[in-house]
Copies of this chain bind each other. A is one copy, B any other.
């Protein structure tokens, strides 16, 4: 017979998977001899069993619960539901990973109409007893029976008003009896039955409710945001009640052993006299700072500090604790490693190392890599933010806070930025033509597009705040205004965006600049000593590249050459190339682009010095470059000596049903080899010139995108080699260069052994590979992915966190096949996933040489790579 229930004393801290974090820590504290109310834990496996049994708790599990309850009764000398000395318990969730506030808690369970009388008599405190019962009815009805809490609060408020009191502590026992009577009426009206008077039923219903709460929408959302698997389940902690609401010698509070905002090594927390746990959170009365306890109850405070220090030393990390003082006696109800801001995380980690409590390696493991994002981007002024209410929320596409005047075109954004204004660019969706306006903007807001839309990718590259896919907005770009939640925002109005949360505010909220501390550099240095995976960056401009180098990038893993084509007169030349209908005319137009492209590459080489730079050849379909505005079309027609109709006809002919699966990537080089020739010439001339001018030993890496077949790569490679060799001869250079390919088409992964015969390196383009492997486009998936999260079909966004089972299977296969043919092949990843910690760990595990991510994610990747190395030592 399986063991589904553990007494606290049967567990310990390392049984988190089975007992949940809270349960394991309660067990550990119990065994440390700390003042913990006794109790027991229904395991996470019981939760899984509940879901596998058609959402039923089996009799076997019920029997074990009641057997443990019997032991608890004996320990406490009380009886569950007893009319003279009733045992009351709390029922609380506790998953493996801490999910604060996501699931449910019920206190004072075991009270009934009969038991409350005995409880009042036994404690000699009728007011306390009825207060406990009304709290229980309220919580049970809300959490277990799903009757809106507000309905009960309304009853309570009415009675307080009638009595002319402000706080519920001012209500008498008789008042509370009234409350209870009305609560019970309310309950019956809502549910059609009386409030349950059998404590055993109450208990099983409560346990069921906790299990059920594992799958409530906010828990599902939280898990998705925090990469917590849906099949872990939650444990349930059933614990004898202690009471902070027994009068003025009682109280309850929460505290951290260090400051969770700054990391300062001083106790931090607050408490309420004569209260139960939920009152602290509810904010009805203002809690007191924990240090006040020293005056109010010096003995309790001394004991509290002793145990707090003991717990931090035991767990070797900053602790987040809940405690209750019942008539001057201190009890701990919970401890866990505390959540903290990124600056605090760095401070605490460094301090703990300096205090000799943990090693550098442990310090590295402690810091949540994703949280570093906070350090590198401006944030809102905390006080100002508190006063502001968001009018909408969309996807947090690129972190950081931004405030400025709204403009609806890239041109307007640019012009007004140049006038010295702070600017927010608002667009239906951005296109590569908007690049200059995006550069000028403090923040970008789009109506359409997901976390990997054009706006999101470019904004992250630049470190600009971006909120994308805000479907609530009704935009009128011509009229230069939009509406959101009933507010109309016109050109020039101020809005503020939080790219880390996706919140949108009306008005100008002050921001504070990012400030990188010495702790940051210390931690990064430790991470670099530990990690084996290299970290490169995706960067298209010298400015992005310089930023990335500052953040520790060791090379460029992806330079998207097409991003260079949109600025100024270049776009015009590209359009001329597209409109040419002979090879000669195309070559002529392309030749005019060489100086620009070469200049770009020289800039990159100069910034990157001898670090590797991988340049991807033209990737997007040509229709992304053609004009859509009448003016631009007319100008182009004039310049080309064509009619407007002719220009439009060419643009129309470029229309594609599924552009993502269209004429793009190396397919362009196969049909227009002259494009690859031009780009090769620009790369090679730039490298040779910088090598001569600066003395850097530059080894260009040319990357052919969207390859699906060895002969396709060979075809383009032959063009590249022919041109490169010609340039070398012309410039009398013996420069070395490498040619490789993106692996971003499933077929390329399947045939990677053949492709590796022609490729010196693979770079996994996991954005496209994810799209093709799942068969959905990242731009369209928004329409249904929410249903998939709700239905627990997918637990995370496969465009943010690499799908290791499916897409990862292809990546792994391609690595193995590629190495089979070319053992020393260089392997990297340059999709958006390169900056995601779980993906970085996967890349480490399958033995990639590097990950490449946007500049602002480089520190995340460095830290994640170090964590991966610690968790998965190679070989």
Contact = CB atoms under 8 A, between A and B. Distances in A.
A807 interface: yes
A746 B810 contact: yes
A399 B810 CA distance: 39
A660 B771 CA distance: 11
Contacts of A708: 773-776, 806
Contacts of A709: 793-794, 806
A663 interface: yes
A727 interface: no
Nearest to A791: B715
A4 B715 CA distance: 29
Interface in A731-752: 744-747, 750-751
Contact of A788 (B712, B779, B806): B712
Contacts of A805: 750-751
Nearest to A657: B779
A671 interface: yes
Interface extent on A, as a size class?
A: 35 or more
Contact of A779 (B658, B660, B784, B792): B658
B773 A657 contact: no
Contacts of A794: 709, 711
A795 to B, nearest CB: 9
B657 A793 contact: no
A708 B805 CA distance: 11
Contact of A793 (B670, B774, B784): B670
A659 interface: yes
A662 B783 contact: yes
A777 interface: yes
B662 A780 contact: yes
Interface in A626-665: 656-663
A97 interface: no
A546 interface: no
Contacts of A744: 775
B750 A774 contact: no
A671 B708 CA distance: 33
A225 to B, nearest CB: 19
A661 B771 contact: yes
A306 to B, nearest CB: 49
A706 B784 CA distance: 14
Interface string A781-793: 0011001100111
How many copies of this protein are present in the complex?
2
A677 interface: no
Contacts of A667: 776, 784
A182 B316 CA distance: 101
A768 interface: yes
A772 interface: yes
Q: Which of A744, A745, A746, A803 has the most CB of B within 10 A?
A: A746
Contact of A780 (B656, B715, B747): B656
A355 B201 CA distance: 89
A775 B779 contact: no
A774 to B, nearest CB: 5
A809 interface: yes
Contact of A661 (B671, B775, B806, B807): B775
Contacts of A779: 656-658
Given A787-B670, A805-B751, A773 B775 contact: no
Given A784-B671, A791-B670, A793-B709, A809 B750 contact: yes
A775 B784 contact: no
A658 to B, nearest CB: 4
Contacts of A775: 661, 706, 708, 744-747, 768, 772
Given A671-B787, A780-B661, A780-B662, A773 B747 contact: yes
Q: Which of A662, A775, A783, A788 has the most CB of B within 10 A?
A: A775
A715 B657 contact: no
A455 to B, nearest CB: 14
B793 A656 contact: no
Given A750-B810, A775-B745, A661 B663 contact: no
Contacts of A706: 775
Contacts of A670: 784, 787-788, 791, 793
A76 B439 CA distance: 83
Contacts of A671: 783-784, 787
A19 B380 CA distance: 79
Contacts of A792: 711
B783 A663 contact: yes
A461 to B, nearest CB: 21
Contacts of A784: 663, 667, 670-671
A657 B711 CA distance: 30
Nearest to A621: B780
A806 B774 contact: no
A660 B663 contact: no
Contacts of A810: 746, 750
A305 B771 CA distance: 65
Contacts of A768: 775
Contact of A656 (B661, B771, B777, B788): B777
A797 to B, nearest CB: 14
Contact of A747 (B662, B783, B807): B807
Interface string A383-406: 000000000000000000000000
Contacts of A656: 777, 779-780, 783
A87 to B, nearest CB: 41
A713 to B, nearest CB: 9
A715 B777 contact: no
A792 B710 CA distance: 11
B657 A657 contact: no
Contacts of A774: 708, 745, 747
A457 to B, nearest CB: 15
A556 to B, nearest CB: 24
A141 B670 CA distance: 32
A794 B779 CA distance: 30
Interface in A659-717: 659-663, 667, 670-671, 706, 708-709, 711-712, 715
Contacts of A663: 780, 783-784
Contacts of A788: 670, 712
A772 B787 CA distance: 23
A777 B657 contact: yes
Contacts of A745: 773-775
A24 to B, nearest CB: 29
Nearest to A776: B661
A793 B747 contact: no
Interface string A282-299: 000000000000000000
Contacts of A658: 658-661, 777, 779-780
A780 B668 CA distance: 13
B657 A780 contact: yes
A780 B657 CA distance: 6
Q: Which of A659, A750, A787 has the most CB of B within 10 A?
A: A750
A254 to B, nearest CB: 37
4 residue pairs, one from A and one from B, having the closest CB atoms: A658-B777, A745-B775, A661-B777, A747-B806
Given A709-B794, A745-B773, A772-B772, 8 more contacts: A657-B659, A658-B780, A663-B784, A667-B776, A670-B787, A708-B774, A715-B793, A768-B775
Interface of A: 656-663, 667, 670-671, 706, 708-709, 711-712, 715, 744-747, 750-751, 768, 771-777, 779-780, 783-784, 787-788, 791-794, 803, 805-807, 809-810
9 contacts: A658-B660, A660-B661, A661-B777, A662-B776, A667-B784, A709-B806, A711-B791, A715-B793, A750-B773
